[in-house]
Amino acid sequence: MTDPGQSARRALGALQILVLAVIALNVALVGVQALLYRPLLAQPGSALYIAEPLALLAAYAFIVAIVANTASPLRRQTLWQATALGVFVGALEIVNLTLETFSGASSLLTTAPFILGAFVLWGVAGGVRAWQTNSFRAGLLAAVWSAMLTMLIAVTYGFTLGYTSITRLEFLESHDPDFLASHWADLHAFAIANQFDSGFSHLLGALIVGLLVGTLGSLVGVLGRRRGGYGRATVFGGATPE
C-alpha cells in the first residue's frame, strides 16, 4: 500500500527539480547569449550585466533547494497553492511582455494592470493562506513563492526573446534614452545587456515585492482569523484553539 506522505514528498521533489531546471535554463540562456556575441564582453560594464542575473538565479536556486526540501505537510500544501497562482500570473506576465515588445499601442495604461495585478494577487495569496492556516509564516511563504515562480516564467520568456526577436529588441532600444546615455556604440550588445538587466530587476523585484505584500497580506489574514474567533495567530503552525 502506497504511503500518501511518501507520494506527496515525491511530488514536491518533482516540483523542486522542475523549478531548478527552469533556473538552470535561464542560466544557460544568459551564458550562451553572452558567448554567442563576443563584442558584448568588450562593452564597458558588460560583466556586471551578465553577473547580476546569474547571481540572483543562484540565490533563487538556493531558496528553492531549502524551502522545498523535506517540507512538512503544511508547507507542501502551501507550496502547491502558491505554485498554481505563480503559474497563472506568470502566464499573464507573458501576455504583458508580448504586448510591451510587439504591440505599437503598448503604454503604461496597458501594462500597469498586469504589474499591479500581480502584486495584488501575491498579497492575496499570502492573506488567504495565512487565514487558512492561522500562520503568518505560511502566508509569507505563499506570497514569496508565487512571486518567484511568476518572475521565473516571465524572465525565461524574456531571455528567450533575446534569441528569437533580437531585431525587434534592437529597434525598441534604439529609441531608448538609456542607450544614448550609455556611450555604447553597439546597439546589438546593448539590447542583449538590457535583457539581462531587465531579468535581474524583475527577479529582484519579485523577492522584494513578494516580501512586502506577503507581510501585509499575512498580517491581515492572521489578524482577521483571530478577530473571527478561529484562534490566536501564530508564526509557526496552524490554528491555536481558544
154-189: burial string, b at 16+ Cβ within 10 Å, e else:
bbbbbbebbeeebeebbebbeeeeebeebebebebb
pTM: 0.88
Residues whose CB is less than 8 angstroms from the CB of residue 189 and which lie 6 or more positions away in sequence, other chains included: 37, 39, 40, 43, 46
Q: pLDDT band at residue 65, thresholds of 50, 70 and 90?
A: very high
pLDDT at 50: 95
Residues whose CB is less than 8 angstroms from the CB of residue 115 and which lie 6 or more positions away in sequence, other chains included: 96
- Residue-wise pLDDT for 68-102, tens only, equals 876 688 899 999 999 999 999 999 999 999 988 88
All three cell numbers of 132: 487558512
- Dihedral of CA atoms 191, 166, 54, 125 in degrees, nearest 10, equals 100
Average pLDDT of the residues in 183-196: 91
